[in-house]
Structure 1
Amino acid sequence: MPPLAVAEIDLDGPDGEVLSLRPAPGGPPLGEGGVYALVRLRGRPAATVLAQVRTGEDPAEVLAEAFRAEWAVRKRRNAQGRSAEHRARAEPVPPPCAERPTPPPPRATVVVATRERAAPLARALDSLLAQDHPDFRVLVVDNAPLTTATRDLVQGRYAGRVDYVQEPVPGLAAAHNRGIAAARGEVLAFTDDDVVADPHWLTALTEPFAADPRLGCTTGLILPARLTTPAQILLESHGGFAKGFTPRLYDPAAPPADEPLFPFTAGSFGSGANMAFRAQVLASVGGFDPATGTGTPARGGDDLYAFVRVLSAGHRLRYTPGALVWHHHRETWQDLRNQAYGYGAGLTAYLTAILVRRPALLPSLLWKLPRGLAHARAITAHRAGPDAGTTPGTSTAPGAHGAQAHPWPRSLSRLERRGMLHGPLGYLKARLRTRGSRS
């Protein structure tokens, strides 16, 4: 798998001219070879394209033509009778001029939990401090530190601009809960130390709270910052962390017809590297379960647990693709193996956490659980299929590094299933450990 350059191209509409082309934040300059690009329509994320740039070709024109070709295919399919729901999912969102003005975003705190990763943390903090949001703070939670590297970085280079707290109990959820206790503002946003945030990220992520008093949570778009190793390319060719380019509202009062397992299909709502909560709502559901998340035997599931708790309490969740972060995927094959196992473990760990901590959801969960597990297994099996990894609004140019070119290895599917078997036990171990740390 040869490496791919990652870029952003901005077009003046689906059939319009190129407004700008630039490498993804921190990426190398564009040249010949494979390019994975985010397509913006007048600044708004609309799709991704994969194209091959040959010697002497203009990368901007190659990428623009790849998108226009895919756009023409979509229009033909829609004209042949595709359903309105599919059209809404497949077509990029309209340009900003088609939208009504929104109220100013509420005051926010961005919580970044980290552990012994000072170099990537600095990269993330630089992008967070460049946000165009009018009123926010950044809070770093140093989780079970072994050295003073994180504290020295924050209190040195970022003194007065970034707040710092420590959480001695290891685990991402415990660190997030410490952030909740120390944060200020109406909205709490969460991201990771391995992202670079788009300058408009926080504004786009928090604006919906001002417009919708029933909104409890928002999530956003996550795209790869680099695609230089086979592990990174394989992960992204099968969907990565992206959830498409169409805004979507999840409302427990009107469950989505296309998700019969709602709200237990929490993985479709978003990911923990790009999420925000109304502070009052997050506090009312008890925050994150400290026995879930990276750094615990549960291996994950802290974000999924929070999504379901917020929805089951009657609040809405909105997916907002305009809120973009660039994620630095893990680079090695072993990293991808660990990730696959952790995904499976986190899924069943969060389901176990819901059962243990929210018994009132037990009847619904038990009724939907067999279908939920079958759904999860189908997802891992589907990755090896010809259409695996495609997401609404994502276009793949001919000959690109897509799912057909890179089938999802059966060994990784087996690891995910093994993780699913481990998840409940891992959660119970973490829960006992958490209780012991409090005594």
Structure 2
Amino acid sequence: MSVVLDVELSGPLPTVAAFDASGTRREQAWLVVRLFTEPLAMVTVDIPPTGLRPDEVLAAARNAAPDALARRLAQVGLEPDALTSDGTPPIRTPPFLAGRARALAFAPPVTVVICTREHPDELRACLASLTEQEYRGFDVLVVDNAPTSARTRGVVDEFADRLAIRYTVEPRPGLSRARNRALAELQDEPGEHVVAWTDDDVRADAHWVAEIARAFVENPAAAGVSGAVVPAELRSRAQVWFEQFGGHSKGRGFTPDDFGPTTAQSPLYPLPAYGVGANMAFRLAALRRLNGFDEALGAGTPAQGGEDTLVFSRLLHGGATTLYRPAALVRHVHRADVEGLRTQMAGYGAGLTAFYAALIRQDPRVLAELVRLVPRAWKDLTSSDSVRVSTVQADFPRELFAANRRGMLAGPWRYFQGRRALRGRRPGPVASPAAVGLR
């Protein structure tokens, strides 16, 4: 088993025990290295039978991102050697924290949307994390997708006095339909309003909403923002294997980046330019220009995914700017069983190629661009040093690669299956029942 820990270098560092409270042996520590709350790296450290002392935690953390750490310490007049396992308070307010404070003084209102279907326990934990947010200028909209019970509504009721929260129902199954229902509920909000999306199996970092709001304040031209997704736990081999395959971050790391007309990044490939549905935010005006999400993509459709990637790609292909800001961090609870992981890997493969089928359907001219990208994509699929496989260890099951590739082969066909199912149906919410305001 592995343990995932935040390591804040400006404060006292922890001792990492070799055994948890139940007596289970911890083999590795996955450390999210932070300085003045800013995440700088994630590093994996083997835990000896005696555990990790604070000075050993410090040594591993310092080695994870030495250049980034040195630059940020220099901003407050400190050298790397000034760090100790007992904590090092800054001489003056770090620029990172000062910048966040300035931005929050002008930050726009944010609506956090969670689309969920019969996962009350997961939803409860997600909402609990939102009660701990540093920035309070946000509300929450829970979209109950094709419910078969009142359990989701019951969980929302539990948070009526802790969050500014609303509840609505999308009766038709499908994540994109639920996302479009949320957009219908926000139809009276101005275009500059920010909508942040996350999933019920996510735990938001305390600074998540603040960093999303900050990104839009500091970059008025940005249409979208994505952030880092790290594991919330690594208690099973399946969870570790998913993270080895790139997890939700897919090699993005912890370096902020901008994507748009002036960058070399293709809007079609490779994937690090894109965000992920568990941690993405957009100005409403940008989503309205795209007419929302493609309802033949996403969980609950034959394609199983791809709706989030399509939105980012269409924005970039249309000349918009999107940002990657790892300080907007969330933690995802990965599937713990191997069969669930196998299904997920197949779904990711199908969603990827279904996304490309959707792009071609909407604009056949992109086909020529995609053909030019085939050699690079083939190299990434087959090379041992590609972002997708370079972190895979010897114990990673080959069958998971096979499941992912089978999904890729099936993706275009599944997308058009989804399109056929939509024929004769009005896209988007058929009606817009009023969301129930609980505060």
Q: TM-score of the superposition, structure 1-length normalised? A: 0.81
Match of 1:369 in 2: 370
> Against the structure 1 CA distance between its residues 31 and 61, is the aligned structure 2 distance closer, same or farther, given a 3 Å change threshold?
farther
Amino acid at match of 1:219: S
Structure 1 distance, partners of 2:67, 2:138, is 42
Match of 1:318 in 2: 323
Residue 43 of structure 2 corresponds to residue 36 of structure 1: no
Confirm or deny: 8 A CA contact 1:202 1:323 kept in the other structure: yes
Corresponding residue SS for 1:202: helix
Match of 2:406 in 1: 418
Match of 1:90 in 2: none
Q: CA deviation at 1:53?
A: 2.7
Confirm or deny: 8 A CA contact 2:346 2:405 kept in the other structure: yes
1:178 to 163, 177, 181: 181
2:197 to 186, 190, 197: 190
Name which of structure 1's ranges 156-165 and 271-280 shifts more when overlaid on structure 2: 156-165
Give unmatched runs, 5+ long, in structure 1: 13-17, 76-93, 391-401
1:5 to 3, 6, 12: 3
Name which of structure 1's ranges 264-273 and 34-43 shifts more when overlaid on structure 2: 264-273
Amino acid at match of 1:167: E
Corresponding residue SS for 2:41: strand
Q: CA deviation at 1:38?
A: 0.4
Structure 1 distance, partners of 2:334, 2:99, is 33
Structure 2 distance, partners of 1:387, 1:288, is 28
Structure 2 distance, partners of 1:313, 1:388, is 27
Please show how residues 101-112 of structure 1 align to structure 2 within 5 Å. 101-102=102-103, 104-112=106-114
Residue 260 of structure 2 corresponds to residue 251 of structure 1: yes
> Against the structure 1 CA distance between its residues 377 and 199, is the aligned structure 2 distance closer, same or farther, given a 3 Å change threshold?
same
Amino acid at match of 1:169: R
Residue 296 of structure 2 corresponds to residue 291 of structure 1: yes
2:278 to 267, 270, 273: 273
Structure 2 distance, partners of 1:368, 1:240, is 27
> Against the structure 1 CA distance between its residues 422 and 31, is the aligned structure 2 distance closer, same or farther, given a 3 Å change threshold?
closer
Confirm or deny: 8 A CA contact 1:10 1:21 kept in the other structure: no
Corresponding residue SS for 2:329: strand
Match of 2:219 in 1: 212
Q: CA deviation at 1:380?
A: 4.0
Q: CA deviation at 1:284?
A: 1.2
1:132-166, Cα deviation, whole Å (9 max, x unpaired): 22311100001111222112221345367321111
Structure 2 distance, partners of 1:120, 1:179, is 20
Confirm or deny: 8 A CA contact 1:8 1:22 kept in the other structure: no
Corresponding residue SS for 2:42: strand
Residue 346 of structure 2 corresponds to residue 341 of structure 1: yes
The percent of aligned pairs where both chains have the same amino acid is 36
Q: CA deviation at 1:210?
A: 1.8
Q: CA deviation at 1:45?
A: 0.2
Match of 1:237 in 2: 244
Q: TM-score of the superposition, structure 2-length normalised? A: 0.81
Amino acid at match of 2:368: W
Q: CA deviation at 1:308?
A: 1.3
1:432 to 414, 420, 429: 420
Structure 2 distance, partners of 1:53, 1:427, is 45
1:210-264, Cα deviation, whole Å (9 max, x unpaired): 2222210000000001101111101112321122100000012x132xx4x4344
2:48 to 43, 47, 54: 54
Confirm or deny: 8 A CA contact 1:31 1:59 kept in the other structure: no
Confirm or deny: 8 A CA contact 2:15 2:52 kept in the other structure: no
Amino acid at match of 2:5: A
Structure 2 distance, partners of 1:321, 1:70, is 16
Confirm or deny: 8 A CA contact 1:219 1:270 kept in the other structure: yes
> Against the structure 1 CA distance between its residues 273 and 386, is the aligned structure 2 distance closer, same or farther, given a 3 Å change threshold?
closer
Name which of structure 1's ranges 231-240 and 294-303 shifts more when overlaid on structure 2: 231-240
Corresponding residue SS for 1:438: coil
Confirm or deny: 8 A CA contact 1:49 1:63 kept in the other structure: no
Give unmatched runs, 5+ long, in structure 2: 70-93, 428-439
Structure 1 distance, partners of 2:344, 2:57, is 31
1:61-113, Cα deviation, whole Å (9 max, x unpaired): 222212334456999xxxxxxxxxxxxxxxxxx96269594363211100100
> Against the structure 1 CA distance between its residues 309 and 431, is the aligned structure 2 distance closer, same or farther, given a 3 Å change threshold?
same
Amino acid at match of 1:412: L
Structure 2 distance, partners of 1:349, 1:22, is 46
Structure 1 distance, partners of 2:386, 2:270, is 23
Structure 1 distance, partners of 2:21, 2:354, is 39
The CA RMSD measured in Å over matched residues stands at 2.9
Amino acid at match of 1:4: S
Amino acid at match of 1:323: A
Structure 2 distance, partners of 1:165, 1:97, is 36
Structure 2 distance, partners of 1:356, 1:386, is 29
1:321-344, Cα deviation, whole Å (9 max, x unpaired): 000100000111111111111111
Confirm or deny: 8 A CA contact 1:388 1:404 kept in the other structure: no
Q: CA deviation at 1:371?
A: 4.5
